[in-house]
Amino acid sequence: MKKKTIILFLIISLLAIILTYFLTQKNNQDWGKEEQKSFLTDCLENIQNTGIPEDKSEKYCKCMLNNIQKKWSFEQTEKEDFFMDVQTMLELSEPCLNPK
């Protein structure tokens, strides 16, 4: 259980970094192919240090991208006042960490 908590914390931290990256991008107004690819690339690069197998990492990152896209447009994530609190991050990541 403790290992799961540590991994979850690392994943949340990494996603916060990735979202910060997207907040600094001012040229794109939607989740286009480039934004999706960039998110997935950053997510996979950051998650590989957690010890999660590559196949599960890819599924997790795609799931998180899908959940984030459902909740916010890329334009919304670009706004300076955009903030994803820890509770929201946990809610979005839970189905990705424990798929049915």
Per-residue burial over 47-83, b = 16 or more CB atoms within 10 Å of its CB, e = otherwise: beeeebeeeebeebbbbbbebbbeebebeebbeeeee
Residues 79-100 have pLDDT tens digits of: 878 888 888 888 998 898 887 7
Q: What is the predicted pLDDT for the residue at 63?
A: 93
Residues 20-63 have pLDDT tens digits of: 666 555 433 478 899 899 889 988 988 887 888 888 899 999 99
Single pTM value for the model? 0.67
Give the pLDDT band (50/70/90) at residue 74. confident
